[in-house]
Amino acid sequence: MIQISSDDPVFDAADSDPSVAPSDDFYQFANGGWLESNPVPPEYGAWGSAHEVHVRNEAILCDLLEAAARPDSFDDSVEGKVGAYYRSGMNTDQIEANGLSPIEPWLDRIEGLESIDDVRDLVVDFHRIGVGVLFTIGVLPDFDDPTMNLVYIGQGGLGLPDRDYYLREDEQSRELLSAYRTHIENMFDLAGLDAGKISVEQVLGIERAIADASYTNVQMRDVDLITNKRDTTAVSRLMPGFNLGVYLSSIGAGNEPMINLDNVGLYPVLNTMLEETPLADWKAYFTWHLIRATASALPETLEEEAFEFYGRTLGGQQKQKDRWKRILAAGSEDIGQLISELYVAENFTPDAKRRMEELVDHLLVAMRDRLETLPWMGEATRSEALSKLEGFGYKIGYPDEWLDYTGLEIRPDEWMSNRIAANRFEFDRQIAKLGQPVDPHEWSMAPHVVNAYYHPLRNEIVFPAGMLQPPFFTEDADDPVNYGAIGSVIGHEITHGFDDQGSKFDASGQMRNWWTDDDRAEFEIRAQVIVDQFNSFEVQDGLNVNGELTLGENIADLGGLKIAYAAMLSARDDRDATEICGLSPGQRFYLAYARAWRQNYTHEYLRLLVNSDPHSPSHFRCTGPLSNLESFAEAFDIPDDAPSMRAEDDRVEVW
């Protein structure tokens, strides 16, 4: 029987469950002890390895923020801006004294709306300050020419995380919608709004109509469906009453020759709604979204009520996080690179960056070897795939050039103003990219965040410093452990370049079909097997994983494991070929993978995740891919008919 030794330098024997055999449930075997002794803390909806890393980072960042906030006055330096921001958020006496006064000019403006032109002008200003109404707008590389930037207009404008919450008829969905209705009523009441002038049904009527015209989460993953360029004249014709062309001019995008729309059919619906729905209803809708977007900077009663619905009801949290953590989370959104600049100065070593570069290089070589020998792919497609891999870029730790926040004024006593100013600064910064070449140095994530990503329009993988620590990355751990943990993450991000979405972009980031018809058809057949496998996993009674929604992540998990394992085999030295505390390299690799994704969930958060998150729940992120891997079966001597494995004919490999 395989057991974790109490002398193991990496794995804690108490974290495993030796009563369960790896062949029965590997996730439980590897993590059962930890899962039992680590229930979800009251202030979280889920708790896992990434949360443990996040909490360690929070403690480091807390010290940095507290130190930055100590001076009596604040200059325009990184420390000065961060300190002023943090002090303003922690000044609850001032926030309570301000009451609703920071948003009263906006409430007055909503009350004074008289025409669609007024509505359009309000939407312009709301979008600039981060109030998400009607639709979204952003700037990204052009999918036809990734060296230049393009305006992307997308669906949005809802207060619930997914359009299906408004449209499902099952009991739990109806209960949630009822709770949402009560929440809006409570927020209106706490804000002292006249119930005779404004009602929740006005809000829900508009949001339900927007939801009905919106794409599903699965449809929004279809890059062919959501890439629809139009010139500004054609865009304006979609919303003639609202005049989308004037909107674009007002935000500074009026000279753009082309705009991308994700859901072309939505915008005529919005236009009809604006022309036919009573203005009083729109006033209720805009009022609600203003209050919802600014609740974190309003008095405690409103912030607490926002938590009651979004944190407790939707996410299963039992209490709010401490205020300093909430201010840090807001800062990560508003001034993320300023905070990260303080973080990496003391918490990311050159040796860690060098070791990560070695791992990434090894994984890229393993992927190249895999592409060169992939049996189901023809030579024409293989050549294109290898070209794409050759064009991969990667960023590790933090940017070579930090974002310049010159012009962003942060005041130590104006929390709401600071949040609005930061949103306006970022919106204007994005719009200023138009007509300019894409900046190759730009990051899409703050470097202190515990995450990683692949960007298809840049064809690059990015690993922020915040994630590069145990259990994902351990500088002094044996290679199998690092390849199983951070190596599988690197492989995961590389494989995203070849999943159902990434495979539609080429080496330059251009959206282009580089597949032969036969090879694409074979890819789709294999992808459908993964969809079917994950559709069969039951998460809660009557609730299964959505195999279509999670397809890209599941392809990336499976492919990432295969190339990480291959990289481990090619990179290890004689020392790594031997057992450590009774565990072979293969066993240590897969235990490290399982440990990285261990996680407990509240009932509510798990349901939210399954309905809206493209990642599968952790148990199935572990057992789903492993059930297809011969190397896993060999490492733990698992027979083909064991619960942890699929019959050989039922297994699938894509990459």
Q: Rounded distance, CA 356 to CA 364, Å?
A: 12
**pTM, full prediction:** 0.94
Q: What is the pLDDT of residue 119?
A: 98
Through-space distance between the first and last CA atoms of the chain, rounded to whole angstroms: 32
DSSP class of 137: E
| Residue pLDDT, tens place only, 205-250 | 999 999 999 999 999 999 999 999 999 999 999 999 999 999 999 9
| pLDDT value of position 120 | 98
Tokens 């064809």 locate to 459
How many Å apart are CA 468 and CA 474, to the nearest integer? Answer: 8
The encoded tokens of residue 472 equal 């994902």
Break the chain down into helix, strand, coil percent, rounded to 5. Answer: 55, 10, 35
Which residues in 127-218 belong to E strands, given as ranges? 135-141, 149-155
Spell out the domains of the chain, with CATH numbers in brackets. Answer: 13-37+348-399+443-650 (3.40.390.10), 103-278 (1.10.1380.10)
The Cα 632–Cα 629 span in angstroms is 5
- Residue 241: what pLDDT? 95
Low-confidence ranges of the chain (pLDDT < 50): 574-575
CA angle at 604 for the pair 218 and 323, rounded to the nearest 5°: 105
Specify whether the CB–CB gap between 652 and 630 falls below 8 A: no
Q: What angle (nearest 5°) sits at the alpha carbon of residue 580, between those of residues 577 and 584?
A: 55
pLDDT at 576: 52
Q: How far apart are CA 371 and CA 382, in angstroms?
A: 7
Preceding peptide of 471 cis, ω within 30°: yes
Res 577: pLDDT: 66
